[in-house]
Amino acid sequence: MVKNATILILIGLIVYACATVPLTGRRQLAMVSNQEILPLADQQYEKVLDTSKISSNQQYVRMVKTVGANIQKAVEQFMAEKGMSEELAGFEWEFNVIDDPNTVNAWCMPGGKVAFYTGIMPICRDEAGVAVVMGHEVAHAIANHGRERMSQGLLANGLLGTVAGAMGQNPSLTQEVFMQAVGMGAQIGMLSFSRQHESEADRIGLIFMSIAGYDPHEAPKFWERMTQGSGGAAPPEWLSTHPSHSTRIKDLNKAMPEAMQYYEANK
């Protein structure tokens, strides 16, 4: 009887704690609030910057900050048009380049804290290439993928309630769940979930770069360059947290007509 009551409570909590992803309309789990997650993200971002070498390559820094400002403006415009500006409450945008030529990566913390690694810049090539990556990474934050992943992680580990409550219950596990939630951890059990987020961020990011005035056709071109750079050495899609490059290119081209409408309207 107690077990059945617990199950009903959990089902009720999950149904109640739901949100909607902008643009796609997908329903997502949202057991914790951005007000709880954003301070953790800010702390982690500062920790990364403090322990990393910031790039002195002014060309890279200028491109990332310029594109970042343009994408930020596009996001704010998009959210205002959708009547969802309140979703950006607590966002404190920041764009930095980390000097690490061996890391082909970029990410955006919840709250708009962005980092590019110098290893990805030659593949980006120019502002349009940076916009492809920037739009995608920012889309993760706007779609609240970190919040959704953390909600799922807390639920899976029996850490129900607020982040503060979970911290009091098991601080080390809660921290681990957070690191995985913002993409700084790895867990085989979340692979299909992560691929869903990556595909969703590709579509939303394509819209953001289009609103910002960057030709969305540059997105599949970027992934073609990424494919060439990897030399075909990427792992099988079922073992990757990301869709295969060929899948991304196909899906981006499928989403191109929608993106072009935004691009033409904002040229």
pLDDT in tens, 155-172: 766 655 555 666 656 666
What pLDDT does residue 157 have? 66
How would residue 34 be classed by pLDDT, with cut points 50, 70 and 90? confident
Q: Is 171 exposed, middle or buried (0-12, 13-18, 19+ CB in 10 A)?
A: exposed
What pLDDT does residue 177 have? 64
How far from 86 is each of 41, 96, 114, 149, CA to CA, in Å?
19, 25, 20, 21
Say which residue, 61 or 194, is predicted with more confidence. 61
What is the mean pLDDT of the segment spanning 33-44?
86
What pLDDT does residue 187 have? 44
b/e map 208-225, b = 16+ CB within 10 Å:
bbbbbebbbbbbbbbbeb
How would residue 241 be classed by pLDDT, with cut points 50, 70 and 90? low
What pLDDT does residue 202 have? 94
Q: What is the pLDDT of residues 42-83, one digit of tens each?
A: 988 999 999 999 999 999 999 999 999 999 999 999 999 999
Residue 242 has pLDDT above 50, yes or no: yes
What angle is formed at CA 141 by the lines to CA 138 and CA 145, rounded to 5 degrees? 130
Residue 134 has pLDDT above 80, yes or no: yes
Q: C-alpha 158: how far from its chain's center?
A: 25
From the list 127, 137, 198, 218, the catalytic residue is: 137
Measure the CA–CA gap between 114 and 94, rounded to whole angstroms.
6
Lowest mean pLDDT among 27-31, 74-78, 191-195: 191-195
Measure the CA–CA gap between 35 and 38, rounded to whole angstroms.
6
Any catalytic annotation for residue 137? Answer: yes
What is the mean pLDDT of the segment spanning 12-28?
70
Mean pLDDT, all residues of the chain: 82
How would residue 236 be classed by pLDDT, with cut points 50, 70 and 90? very low
Measure the CA–CA gap between 21 and 28, rounded to whole angstroms.
7
What is the mean pLDDT of the segment spanning 186-212?
78
Encoded amino acid at 80, one letter: A
> Is the pTM higher than 0.75?
yes
What pLDDT does residue 44 have? 87
Q: What percent of the chain has pLDDT over 90?
A: 53
What pLDDT does residue 237 have? 44
What pLDDT does residue 168 have? 56
What pLDDT does residue 160 have? 57
Say which residue, 5 or 46, is predicted with more confidence. 46
Say which residue, 193 or 114, is predicted with more confidence. 114
- 200 closest CA partner among 140, 267, 124, 157: 140
Residue 16 has pLDDT above 50, yes or no: no
Residue that has been written with the tokens 């997650």 in this structure = 37
Q: Token pair of 167, please? A: 């911290």
What is the mean pLDDT of the segment spanning 170-199?
62
